[in-house]
Structure 1
Amino acid sequence: MFDLSLHLVLMLTGAAFAAGFVDAIAGGGGLITVPALMLAGLPPAQALATNKVQGVFGAATACISYARRGLVDLRHQKIAAVVAFVAGLAGAFFVTSIPTDALRYGLPVLLIGIAVFFALKPGLDDRDRHRRMSSAVFTASFVPAIAFYDGLVGPGTGSFLMLGFVLLAGYGVLKATAHTKLLNFASNLGGLVAFALVGKPLWALGAVMAVAQIAGAMLGARLAMRIGARVIKPLLVITSTALALRLIWQLL
């Protein structure tokens, strides 16, 4: 039986607030909450499941915050969101049947590559640039691949979506950040549905953490909208690098 002591609740609430703040700006909130849940004593599957409970609220809050400022039209993302939900659901259902070891070895390399790209690529700001892929192709290929990964493994999903929106869709950094949130919410929700059936999330703990996630996401989205690429790029580089180092440490 998991002991919800006051000390653990306070620790996890603080972790959820920090995760919501970071995730609303650059993604990577799971880098904070999943280790915190496991440190508190949850087994990996239950930690991932409980993380989805609070994560959907943080993603939804950031999504609504960006939409209210006119940075994203949620109606134009409806199809992409449905695709992300179904792919996230499928990924979570396949957790136990698809070997993910090779993926875990390759993830640190990909994340470090993302960090280097955003750190060194000149001209990455809030202005849109040349689109390399149509919206239909982007929705049919890139979105389900990343959403399936989110349900299957999870870490770095926000960073991968950001990279896709910048490199393939031609979005500026702030606009790309805004557009990742609905898709991240949808894939998280799909993963949560699957985990609710097999992973047994701790709903009460997830709800408490969700309140802190919402507060952190509101603050993070507000800061990102005020400063834009100047805060998004450094935080994206930091979170991608930190997640890569954590994964390497786990492998070693």
Structure 2
Amino acid sequence: MTIIDAVFLFVAGFLSGVVNAIAGGGTFLTFGAMTLTGLPPIVASATSAITQFPGYVTSTLAYAREIREDKREAMVLGALSLVGGLIGALILVSMSNAAFRVLVPWLILGATLV
């Protein structure tokens, strides 16, 4: 990795945090930056997801009161997210990097539409 790659990834990570603090979607930046620096798409996807995790935890803590007020809906959404995440992770680890690379634009389009 060159110093330019490191600076590029640092800037992408910083901007990802800014985007997530405002509206979400910072993973688009980190995933894209990592693939541009040469990481395989599956590694970039998994790394990007893990790097976003602390932000998800702090957001949950920041909105704890609101989550408690809508506990039933939060539990349903949490369960659906857990099942969807598990299914997605199992599909991801069963794919090759080449197959995932073909699927990525469609996943991004789907996420954008949602």
TM-score bin (small chain)? 0.7 to 0.9
* Alpha-carbon separation, structure 1, partners of 2:103 and 2:23: 22
Superposition deviation, residue 186 in structure 1: 1.7
Superposition deviation, residue 231 in structure 1: 4.1
> How many equivalent residue pairs?
111
1:173 and 2:41 aligned: yes
1:149 and 2:19 aligned: yes
Which runs of 5 or more structure 1 residues have no equivalent in the other structure?
Answer: 1-129, 248-252
Given candidates 237, 241, 250, the residue that maps to 2:105 is 237
Specify which structure has the higher proportion of helix.
Answer: 2
Which runs of 5 or more structure 2 residues have no equivalent in the other structure?
Answer: none
Larger radius of gyration: 1
The match for 1:194 is 62
Contact 1:159 1:236 in 2 (8 A): no
Given candidates 146, 164, 168, the residue that maps to 2:33 is 164
The percentage of aligned residue pairs carrying the same residue is 14
Q: Which runs of 4+ in 1 moved over 3 A?
A: 137-140
Superposition deviation, residue 212 in structure 1: 2.6
TM-score (normalised: structure 2): 0.74
SS at match of 2:5: coil
* Alpha-carbon separation, structure 1, partners of 2:105 and 2:48: 16
SS at match of 1:166: helix
Q: Which has the higher contact order (CA 8 A, sep 6+)?
A: 1
**Superposition CA RMSD, Å:** 2.6
TM-score (normalised: structure 1): 0.38
Deviations 1:213-248 (Å, cap 9, x if unpaired)? Answer: 22222221122111132443343211322455x49x
SS at match of 1:133: helix
The change in CA–CA distance for 1:233 and 1:175 in structure 2 (over 3 A counts) is same
Letter in 2 for 1:194: A
